[in-house]
Amino acid sequence: MIQSGFVKLPEMAVPPEDDGPVAELVPAPAAAPSPIRAFLHQRSAGRWADGAFGGLMLVCALSIFAIVLLIVFVLVKNSQLSIHAFGWKFFTGSSWDPVSGDFGALPFIYGTVLSSVLAVAMAVPLSLCVAIFLLEICPRPLRTPIAFLTELLAAIPSVVYGLWAVFVLVPLMRDQVGPVLEKWLGWTGLFAEPNFGVGMLTASVILAIMIFPVISSISRDVMKAVPIHQREAALALGATRWEMLRMSVLRNSRLGIVGAVILGLGRALGETMAVTMVIGNHPEISKNLFAPGYTLASVIANEFSEATGDLYLSALIEIGLALFLVTIVVNAIARLLVWAVTRGESVRAV
């Protein structure tokens, strides 16, 4: 019809106006062997398959729940010896002496908390600036490559970070950064000789690099979730870009940003390999950041396979239990905060 649009068609037949007889309803032949009917018939025979399939899916889903319960059970059961021997004093005692069987976890708790908090303190301002840059300032063509590059940081394995830190970061901290810090901030007592390069500060720096992608990508998701009207309203009132960011974006997403930060903290608390390789592995509590330290995760990594005696092993497993409980609480808080802001919108799994 379309092709012959220009050709005048000879006398188009005009359909008659009258209704004509209503099409008769022809009853379907009683037992037509249609494929659908045959399929439906088979279906009743295969009904058990539905139940079995659903059951299998349920079992797999429940296995996740079971695994978590099993982890808790195993950790609690195997740390009984140490829990009974030391009680709460385990977490306040500061001597770690496998020879005389005296175990206190305070130096490790101190090392874990201090290195993680320092790492978060270093990573948060940078992460937020990068998130803002990518979301609001970055020219569009650069946005994807830079986001991709920052996410590559998350894909580098912990042991490779450790390798780099041992051979590049440690000498850098020892020879370049350390002396400068000591010269200008030595009076605080936080940066005092001797500085061997391995120690609390180096561990915190490598941790900061490692948790940066987590905080940055989640806070970007959270900021993205702020409705565009909020931004437009601020701009329409004559706000500059920074005022708009502060008034509408940061204010509305602050809960989620806190969540992202806590999620990064949870990551830092449990990080093992890179920290073990550069923190110096010496259980002491010192306010000097150049001094070597020890963390909960790295004492397990270093001493677990060499632990002699049941009490020693049990004490190490109790440290694992403590680490497990702390990271779960920290992660649960973070998830709830992020979830409250994005309201179930998908946040990338990290």
Partner 1 sequence: MNHFVTVLAVVSTVLVLVPLVAILGYLIYKGASSLNLAFFTHVPAPVGEAGGGMANAIVGSGVILGLASLIGVPVGIAAGVYLAEYGHGTHLGNLVRFTADVLNGVPAIVMGISVYALIVAMQHHFSGFAGGVALAIMMVPTITRTTEEMLATVPHAIREAALGLGIPKWRTVMSISLRTASPGIITGCMLAFARVAGETAPLLFTAFGNQFWSFNLNEPIAALPLQIYVYAVSPYDEWHRLAWAGALVLIVMIMTAVTLVRIFANRGALKGGH
Of 294-323, binders to partner 1 (CB under 8 A) are 297, 300-301, 304-305, 316-317, 320, 323
Mention every residue, 6+ apart, whose C-beta is less than 8 A from residue 36: none
DSSP 8-class letter at 189: S
First-residue to last-residue Cα distance in the chain: 58
Alpha-carbon gap, residue 89 to 73, rounded angstroms: 22
Binding map of partner 1 across residues 175-204, x = CB under 8 A, - = no contact: ------------------------------
CA distances from 201 to 114, 116, 228 (A): 10, 11, 41
Q: Which is nearer to partner 1, 291 or 300 (CB)?
A: 300
Q: Which is nearer to partner 1, 260 or 300 (CB)?
A: 300
Q: Considering the rule CB under 8 A, would residue 45 count as an interface residue with partner 1? A: no
Q: Considering the rule CB under 8 A, would residue 328 count as an interface residue with partner 1? A: yes
Angle (CA) 198-203-208 rounded to 5° is: 150
Q: Which is nearer to partner 1, 185 or 332 (CB)?
A: 332
The pair of three-digit structure tokens given for residue 333, joined into one six-digit string: 């808080």
Q: Which is nearer to partner 1, 9 or 36 (CB)?
A: 36
The pair of three-digit structure tokens given for residue 19, joined into one six-digit string: 């209704």
Q: Considering the rule CB under 8 A, would residue 149 count as an interface residue with partner 1? A: yes
Q: Which residues within the stretch 112-131 sit at the binding site for partner 1 (CB under 8 A)?
A: 125-126, 129-130
Q: Considering the rule CB under 8 A, would residue 49 count as an interface residue with partner 1? A: yes
Q: Which is nearer to partner 1, 145 or 194 (CB)?
A: 145
111, 266, 280, 292: which one binds partner 1 (CB under 8 A) = 266
CA distances from 208 to 124, 217, 279, 335 (A): 9, 14, 14, 20
Binding map of partner 1 across residues 209-228, x = CB under 8 A, - = no contact: x--x---x------------
Prior bond of 194 cis (ω within 30°):
yes
The distance between the two most distant Cα atoms of the chain, rounded to a whole number of Å, is 113
Q: Which is nearer to partner 1, 272 or 288 (CB)?
A: 272
Q: Which is nearer to partner 1, 119 or 288 (CB)?
A: 119
Buried b / exposed e over 123-160, threshold 16 CB at 10 Å, is bbeebbebbbebbeebeeeeeeeebeebeebbeeebee
Judged by CB under 8 A, the stretch of 13-21, 22-30, 38-46, 179-187 that binds partner 1 is 38-46
Q: Which residues within the stretch 65-84 sit at the binding site for partner 1 (CB under 8 A)?
A: 65, 67-68, 70-71, 74-75, 77-78
